[in-house]
Amino acid sequence: MITRSLPDGLKGERREAKFENVRRLMQYEIPAVHMRDFSFDQAVEAFTRINTLGVKLKTEDIASARVAAKHTGFIADEVAPFVAELKGEGFSRLNVMHLFRACAFVALPDGRSRTPLHELSRSEVASAWSATKRATKEAMALIRNEFGLVNMDILWSGALLVPVIALCASRGVRNRDPRGVAGWLAMAALLHRYSKSSETALDQDLRACRSDDPIGKLLTNVRRDAGAFGAIANDFRGALNDKGALFAAYIACRHRGLRDLFSGSPILLQANVDRHHILPRAQFEESSRGKADAVANIAFISGEANRNVGAASPDVYLRKLKRETLESQCIPLDVSLWDVDKAEEFWAARRVLLAEAFNGFLREMLPGRRILQ
């Protein structure tokens, strides 16, 4: 029997992420600014403003500053407008650092180690950036085509798209297998591939993108995290803050032909897909109401339908739905489970259905690969 850490092990992942931040102190670079031809009073004023009125700098701020210093006008003229464009299209989780990592790969696709953009020539950066923008658009199209998503609202990390962009920028036909990429991305998201030691994991995956069999190498990296390739019921045991499981639940339902619970219409390429509590929160005792915020209790519907349903009893509204609609949302057909008093049994049954549907998606995307039954 295959087991994995329960999603509440996310606490452990957060601790590991904090430890990783502490380890990075050993590699921390302290910049020194030399103010030439300024008076001492002006230097003091600059120091005071930086330390009392400034804000904490993010990694992308420092990286952008380094690139801007080496390549005048590049950030303002090229990077900032493109980041704003991505944000306008709902892909704001793709930040500057993600794009810079992808761009560095595009600039030196055969390089053995990471090369920061500020160490490259202006012509190398300009050429790589142009290719990166095209590849990013292709990656966004892949997300829309393979997952039916118009934005990244339910896709929890922009880091997941860095290898996708790298593959889209590659010339090899094998690198451009959108279904294979989608299968890898789905599993990587479920397992929170970049939630801890993210730089190490990203380095491994970008090295995989340089191999003769990039999809196979990426899958090997994920399989190393999983122990076995595919979802198990426990993967869906977390709360709504488990964004990887929530995304996987959406994939599972979409593989079953995802239909809105109340209109019965297919949910395809909609910007606003709402999350509906199948067993309403209001029907739980106030002290245990938080349990209702479980991934296994979430269906995907339109916002309008969610407001209209409110706290209607599931044994009432679910009986009105067609079998194909229920099955498309991986909802157990056993009517005796449609009750908050049977919540644990209901969620256990639905977790099994979600895992089966998710693995069905993987088998479709990755034919010939070994996927859990």
The closest of 212, 150, 222 to 183, measured between CA atoms, is 222
Residue type, 136: T
Check whether residue 242 and residue 353 sit in a common domain.
Answer: yes
Q: For residues 305 and 262, what is the distance between their CA atoms, to the nearest angstrom?
A: 6
Tell me the average pLDDT of the chain: 83
Mean pLDDT value of segment 189-200:
86
Written as six digits, the tokens of 336 are 């005796």
Please tell me what DSSP assigns to residue 21. H
Q: Does residue 158 sit within a domain?
A: yes
Check whether residue 318 and residue 359 sit in a common domain.
Answer: yes
Non-local CB neighbours of 166 within 8 Å, separated by 6+ positions = 102, 105, 106, 109, 135, 206, 209
Check whether residue 217 and residue 243 sit in a common domain.
Answer: no
Residue that is last in its domain, among 227, 260, 287: 227
pLDDT digits (tens, 9 = 90+) for 285-319: 888 888 999 999 999 887 665 555 656 788 888 99
Check whether residue 268 and residue 318 sit in a common domain.
Answer: yes
Q: What's the pTM?
A: 0.81
Q: Is residue 129 a contact partner of residue 103, using CB atoms and an 8 Å limit?
A: yes
Residue 128 structural domain: 59-108+116-227
Cα–chain center distance at 364: 21
Taking 80 as the threshold, does the pLDDT of residue 353 lie above it?
yes
Residue that is last in its domain, among 227, 253, 275: 227
Compute CA distances 73 → 9, 80, 89, whole Å. Answer: 44, 10, 24
The 3-state DSSP class for residue 299 equals strand
Q: What is the pLDDT of residue 28?
A: 63
Q: Is residue 289 a contact partner of residue 281, using CB atoms and an 8 Å limit?
A: yes
Compute CA distances 343 → 219, 228, 269, 291, 332, whole Å. Answer: 35, 29, 31, 9, 12
Mean pLDDT value of segment 104-118:
78
pLDDT digits (tens, 9 = 90+) for 29-51: 666 767 676 665 566 556 555 55
Q: For residues 73 and 345, what is the distance between their CA atoms, to the nearest angstrom?
A: 59
Written as six digits, the tokens of 8 are 């509440």
Axis-axis angle for helices 161-169, 178-190 (nearest 10):
160
Q: Does residue 238 sit within a domain?
A: yes
Residue that is last in its domain, among 184, 199, 227: 227
Q: Is residue 94 a contact partner of residue 139, using CB atoms and an 8 Å limit?
A: no
Q: For residues 216 and 196, what is the distance between their CA atoms, to the nearest angstrom?
A: 22
